[in-house]
Amino acid sequence: MISCVNQKIWRWRSNSACEKALQYKVGEKIHGFTIHQVTSIPELFLTAVKLSHDNTGAQYLHLAREDSNNLFSVQFRTTPMDSTGIPHILEHTVLCGSQKYPCRDPFFKMLNRSLSTFMNAFTASDYTLYPFSTQNPKDFQNLLSVYLDAAFFPCLRELDFWQEGWRLEHENPSDPQTPLLFKGVVFNEMKGAFTDNEKIFSVHLQNRLLPDHTYSVVSGGDPLCIPDLTWEQLKEFHATHYHPSNARFFTYGNFQLEQHLKQIHEEALSKFQTIETSTAVPAQKRWNKPKEYQISCGPDSLAADSSKQTTFSISFLLTEITNMFEAFTLNLLSSLLISGPNSPFYKSLIESGLGTDFSPNVGYNDCTREAYFSVGLQGIAEKDFETVKNIIDRTIDEVIEKGFENDRIEALLHKTEIQMKHQSSSFGLTLSLYIASCWNHDGDPVELLKLGNFVAQFRQCLMENPKFLQEKVKQYFKNNQHKLILSMKPDDKYYEKQTQMETEKLMQKIDSLSLNDKQQIYKKGLELRAQQSKPQDASCLPALKISDIEPTIPFTELDVALAGGEIPVQYCAQPTNGLVYFRAFSSLNTLPEELKPYVPLFCSVLTKMGSGILDYREQAQQIELKTGGMTVSPHVVPDDSHLDAYEQGVLFSSLCLDRNLPDMMHLWSEIFNNPCFEEEEHFKVLVKMSAQELSNGIPDSGHLYASIRASRTLTPVGDLQETFNGMDQVRLMKRIAEMTDIKPVLRKLPRIKKYLLNCDNMRCSVNATPQQIPQAGKVVENFIKNLSRSKKERKPVRPHVIEKPVHNESSGSTHVNGSQIIRKLITDPTFKPCQMKTHFLLPFPVNYIGECVRTVPYTDPDHASLKILARLMTAKFLHTEIREKGGAYGGGAKLSHNGIFTLYSYRDPNSIETLHSFGKAVDWAKSGKFTQQDINEAKLSVFSGVDAPVAPSDKGMDYFLCGRSDEMKQAHREQLLAVSHDKLVNVSNKFLGTGRSTHGLAILGPENAKIAKDPSWIIR
C-alpha cells in the first residue's frame, strides 16, 4: 500500500558538515583564532570545534551539524550588584543603534530586512545572550554584522537610555502642566513581570538562597530601583562587561566556520586587546543553619477561597553546575523526587490535597553557579505550613530508607534518550541555551554535550552501589544546612502598596529637581517625542531582497491509506532519528452542546486516569517507560475558504522510539477502549493543578485571552474558541477546582468518551523513517481494527455539516498519493457577526488589549494583502505608537488563518489611548503613506514566518489537520509576492475602516473609570 515510499532517494543521510569539521587540526590558526579541540559527538549527530581568539581571549564554540537552520549567539557574563536592571536595560539599549548602523532600533528593523528564523536577546541572572538563526547564508552575514556592531560598538545615546530604561516625563509630553511620571520600556516591562506571583516567588527564592553576590539582586530590574540607574553607570557597565575578553561566541549548523571567524575577527575582535575581567561569581558561603522568610504578593482575583492562597517551599543549595556528572545525577534525582504521580513528593504533597499544585521553581534549578532544588506547594492555607514542612521532612527520610524503583530510573534514562533523538526546528537555539549557564562559569561546554557518557557513568555508579541515590539524598537534602524555608501570602493591599511606594519614589525624585532640571525634562520629553516621530532612514542596514525569497516551496510527499477499510492514515517519511510520531484526530460533531465546555478538561486528564488493567500510577509508569509523551488537546480548525465553516475535534499526539511502537499503540488502544474515570481523589488533584496552571498563565498570555474574547462574536467558530481556550474556560476550571463535590463533573467524562473515542469520525497520521513506515502501518492498522465502533448511528448536533474532501482529482494534490481524506465541517447559515466590547477586571497594574476585525479566509487573495498589511502596520506604525511612545512591552497587528485581523497590546500602561492608536493605525494604512521599500520589508518579514523550518515530526501536519495542500500554500505564496501598494490601500479601506466590518474589543486589566462610564462595554 505504501511501497512507493521505499523507492525514493533519501538525501539527508549525508553528514558532510560534521565530516568536514573533523578535518580541523588542534593548534591550527584561522583568522585570529586558534583551534583547541575537535570532538565528534555522535549521539547528537554533530562535531564540536573549540577555539579561542588570540588577541582578546574571546572563547568560541562551533557545532557543525547537517542542519540548515544556522544559529549564532554571543554571550557576556553580566553580574550586577544592584537591582537597577542594568544588564537588562543595556540589553535593550545596545539594540538602539551602533557606530556602523546608527539608525534607531536596527534590531527591530532587521526583523523586516531578513529571513531570520529567530532574533532575540535574553538577560539571565548572570549572563546576557544575543542569538539569531537563519537558513540563508547572506542573511547570516548581514545579521552577524548588525549583532556584532550592536554588542561591541553601540551608540548608547542618552535618549535611548530614556526610552528603553526609565525617564521622568510629563503625562502629556507636550503639556508641562500635566504631572511628571516614570516612563520607559524596561520600567513598564518589569512592572508587568512582577504582576506574576510565581515570578515574585522565584525571584525572592533565588535572592535569599544565594544572598552573598549577584544572585541577591534582580538582574531584570526592580521597578522601585530602576529609577536609581544613571546613563553614566550604563556606559561603564558596557565597557567592562561587553568586551571580547568577557565574551563567549557560539555558532551552529552547516555553514562554513571560516567565514564566521573571518567576519567576527575583522568586524569586531581585531579592534580589541585582552583585558582583565572581574565578572566571575564567587561560591556562596554555606550556612550552618537553615533560614526562614515570609514575603507577600498580589491576591489571585480568580480564586474563590481567599484563605487558601499561600505558597510554601523548602529549597536546598546543591553542587556547582560545572561539577557536571554530579549535576547530571542531581538533575535526574530531582526528577525522580518530583515528576509524575509515582514520585514520592507527588504522592506525599500533591495527593495530600493541602494545595493546588507544586510551588514555583519546583525541582532542579541550574541557572546559577550552584544549582538548587526546591519543593513545596501553592494554594495552601497558612495554618498548614507546619504540616507541609513535616511532610517534606518525612518524605526525604522515607526516600533515604527505601530508595527508588528500578523501573522509574529506567523510565528517566529512556526520556534522556528520546530528548537526544527528537529534533526540534530550533535545535541550535536549544543547544545554545543548554550550555549557556555552565559555560558562563567556565565549565567545558563540549563535555556537557556528551550525554551518552553521563548516562553510562550513572549506570556504572548504580551498579557498583545500589544505595548511590539514597546516599545523595542524605547528603544534599537531609544533612544540608543550606536550606531556605520561604512562604508567600497574598496581601489585598499589595498593588496599592506598590503604587504608593512608586509614588513616594516619584515624589522623592521630583523634590530633588531644580527649576532647570524640570525645564530639561520638558525639553527632553519633546526631543524624544520628536525623534520617535521622525521618519526613519534605515538604508544603512543590510537587507535581503524580495528576489532572495524562494519563488516555490519544496513539496512534502505524503501517502494516505485506508486502515480497516475506512479510516484514513497519512504517512510521511522523514529523517526522525528512529522516532515514530503518531497522531489521531477525532471529530466532536456528535457531542451534545452541554458537554462541550468540559472537552478541554476531558483532554487534559484522559491519559492520566488509568485504563484497562492499569491504574493511573501504572499507566504513568508505562507512558514514561515506552513513550516520549502522550497528550490530548481540543482542536478547532477554521476552514480555509469559508469564514463560517470549521472543523471541531480532539487531537491525540504521541511519540516513541521505533522499537516501542506496538507498546505505545497498545496504551492508546486501552485509553480508547477502556479508559478509567473512577478515581475521584486523583481527578480532583488533576483539576486543581490545571486550574492553577491556567490562572498562573494569564500575566504571560493576557493579550491572547483578550484577542480570543474580542473575536468571539465575529465568526461561528469564535464562540467555541472562547469556550475551549478563553477566559470562560479559565473561570470554569477555577469553579470546578473549588467544588466540594466534583462527582457531577467526573460523570460527564464517560459521556464525552462515548461520542469521541470511536472510529466514526477519525483520521490518523504517522511520521517515521522510510524504513520504519511499513512496520508502523501494520501496528496502526491493528490499533484501528481493535477500536470500538458506536452501535447506533449518531447524528451531528448542529444540523449543518459539509463533507469536504481535502483534495480531489480535478484540483489534484501531486504530493499526496493514495486515498481521500474527507473532513466534516460545521456551518451555521443563520450566523450574523456582531460587535461586543468586554472588560475583564484583573488586579494587574497593566492592560492587555485586543481589537478584532472579521475579514476573509485564507484562500482569498485579500487575505494575503491583509497579512502583509498587518506586518506593515506593526513595523511602521504600531511599534512606535504602542511601545516606544506608549511604553507598553509590545503591540502590533496580525492576521490569523481564521481570517480575524487583530490589533493588540501587551503589558500596556494605557487602555483607551491604545484603542485610539489602533484607530490612527487604520487611518495611516488607508492613507497609503508607505513606500515600496516598506512593503518589501513587510514581505520579507512575513516570509521569514512562512518559510520557518518545520521539524521532521511536524512535516505534513498542515495537510493532516487543516487540509492545506502544498499547492494551496504555493498559491498563497504567489498571492503574497503579488501584494502591491494599491492592494494594501484597497484592503485597508475595504475591511478596516469604521462601519466596514464588524469589530470586537476586549481588555484585561485594572478598573478603568472611562470604560466604566461607557455603557457599550460589558464589565466582567
Give the separation between CA 974 and CA 148, rounded to whole angstroms: 35
What is the per-residue binding string for Zn ion in 135-174, x denoting contact by CB under 5 A?
A: ----------------------------------------
Q: Count residues near Zn ion (CB under 5 A).
A: 1
* Residue whose CB is less far from Zn ion, 225 or 745: 225
CA dihedral 620, 623, 626, 627 (to 10 degrees): -150
Comparing CA positions, the residue from 300, 72, 280 lying closest to residue 195 is 300
Q: Is 550 strand, coil or helix?
A: coil
State which residue has the least CB distance to Zn ion: 189
Q: What is the CA radius of gyration of the chain?
A: 29
What is the per-residue binding string for Zn ion in 600-629, x denoting contact by CB under 5 A?
A: ------------------------------
Comparing CA positions, the residue from 837, 889, 881 lying closest to residue 699 is 889
CB atoms near residue 512 (< 10 Å): 8
Catalytic residues: 91, 164
Compute the least distance from the CB of residue 221 to Zn ion, in Å.
9
Q: Which residues 169-208 are close enough to bind Zn ion by CB under 5 A?
A: 189
CA dihedral over 27, 32, 37, 39, signed as positive or negative: negative
Compute the least distance from the CB of residue 91 to Zn ion, in Å.
7
Determine the residue type at 933: Q
Question: Per the structure block, which three cell numbers stand in for 170?
Answer: 510629563
Check: CB of residue 115 under 8 Å from CB of residue 137: no
H runs (alpha helix) in 697-802: 698-710, 716-725, 727-737, 743-746, 748-756, 773-785
Compute the least distance from the CB of residue 200 to Zn ion, in Å.
17
- State the DSSP code for 991: I
Give the separation between CA 658 and CA 771, rounded to whole angstroms: 10
Cβ-count burial of 263 within 10 angstroms (0-12 exposed, 13-18 middle, 19+ buried)?
A: middle
Compute the least distance from the CB of residue 762 to Zn ion, in Å.
45
Q: Which residues 809-848 are close enough to bind Zn ion by CB under 5 A?
A: none
Check: CB of residue 142 under 8 Å from CB of residue 543: yes
Compute the least distance from the CB of residue 875 to Zn ion, in Å.
19
Question: Per the structure block, which three cell numbers stand in for 760?
Answer: 466514526
Question: Per the structure block, which three cell numbers stand in for 160?
Answer: 535611548
* Residue whose CB is less far from Zn ion, 185 or 676: 185
* Residue whose CB is less far from Zn ion, 522 or 906: 906
* Residue whose CB is less far from Zn ion, 194 or 840: 194
CB atoms near residue 113 (< 10 Å): 23
Compute the least distance from the CB of residue 226 to Zn ion, in Å.
12
Q: Is 17 strand, coil or helix?
A: helix
In sequence order, what are the beta bridge partners of 375?
A: 314
Residue found under cell 545525577 = 329
Give the separation between CA 598 and CA 687, rounded to whole angstroms: 11
Compute the least distance from the CB of residue 236 to Zn ion, in Å.
21
* Residue whose CB is less far from Zn ion, 169 or 189: 189
Buried b (16+ CB within 10 A) or exposed e, 144-169: bbbbbbbbbbbbbbbbbbbbbbbbbb
Buried b (16+ CB within 10 A) or exposed e, 405-429: eeebbebbebbbbbebbbbebbbbb
Compute the least distance from the CB of residue 1008 to Zn ion, in Å.
26
Question: Per the structure block, which three cell numbers stand in for 501?
Answer: 511606594
What is the per-residue binding string for Zn ion in 3-42, x denoting contact by CB under 5 A?
A: ----------------------------------------
* Residue whose CB is less far from Zn ion, 45 or 906: 906
> Residues 714, 1001, 1020, CA angle at the centre, nearest 5°?
110
Residue found under cell 480564586 = 303
Question: Per the structure block, which three cell numbers stand in for 604?
Answer: 487534559
In 135-214, DSSP assigns E strands to 167-170, 180-183
* Residue whose CB is less far from Zn ion, 189 or 320: 189
* Residue whose CB is less far from Zn ion, 192 or 443: 192
Compute the least distance from the CB of residue 147 to Zn ion, in Å.
17
| Cα 539 to Cα 100, 104, 780, 937, distances in angstroms | 12, 11, 56, 12
Tell me the backbone φ, ψ of residue 287, rounded to 5 degrees.
-80, 155
* Residue whose CB is less far from Zn ion, 189 or 557: 189
* Residue whose CB is less far from Zn ion, 221 or 600: 221
Cβ-count burial of 38 within 10 angstroms (0-12 exposed, 13-18 middle, 19+ buried)?
A: buried
Give the separation between CA 773 and CA 326, rounded to whole angstroms: 40
* Residue whose CB is less far from Zn ion, 91 or 644: 91
* Residue whose CB is less far from Zn ion, 128 or 880: 128
* Residue whose CB is less far from Zn ion, 123 or 334: 123
Compute the least distance from the CB of residue 188 to Zn ion, in Å.
10
- State the DSSP code for 62: E
Compute the least distance from the CB of residue 295 to Zn ion, in Å.
24
Check: CB of residue 904 under 8 Å from CB of residue 891: yes
Compute the least distance from the CB of residue 186 to Zn ion, in Å.
6
Q: Which residues 252-311 are close enough to bind Zn ion by CB under 5 A?
A: none
Task: Write out 832-866 in H/E/C secondary structure.
Answer: CCCCEEEEEECCCCCEEEEEEEECCCCCCHHHHHH
In 231-354, DSSP assigns E strands to 247-253, 291-297, 310-320
Compute the least distance from the CB of residue 540 to Zn ion, in Å.
25
Residue found under cell 465575529 = 714
Q: Is 800 strand, coil or helix?
A: coil
Residues in touch with Zn ion (CB under 5 A): 189
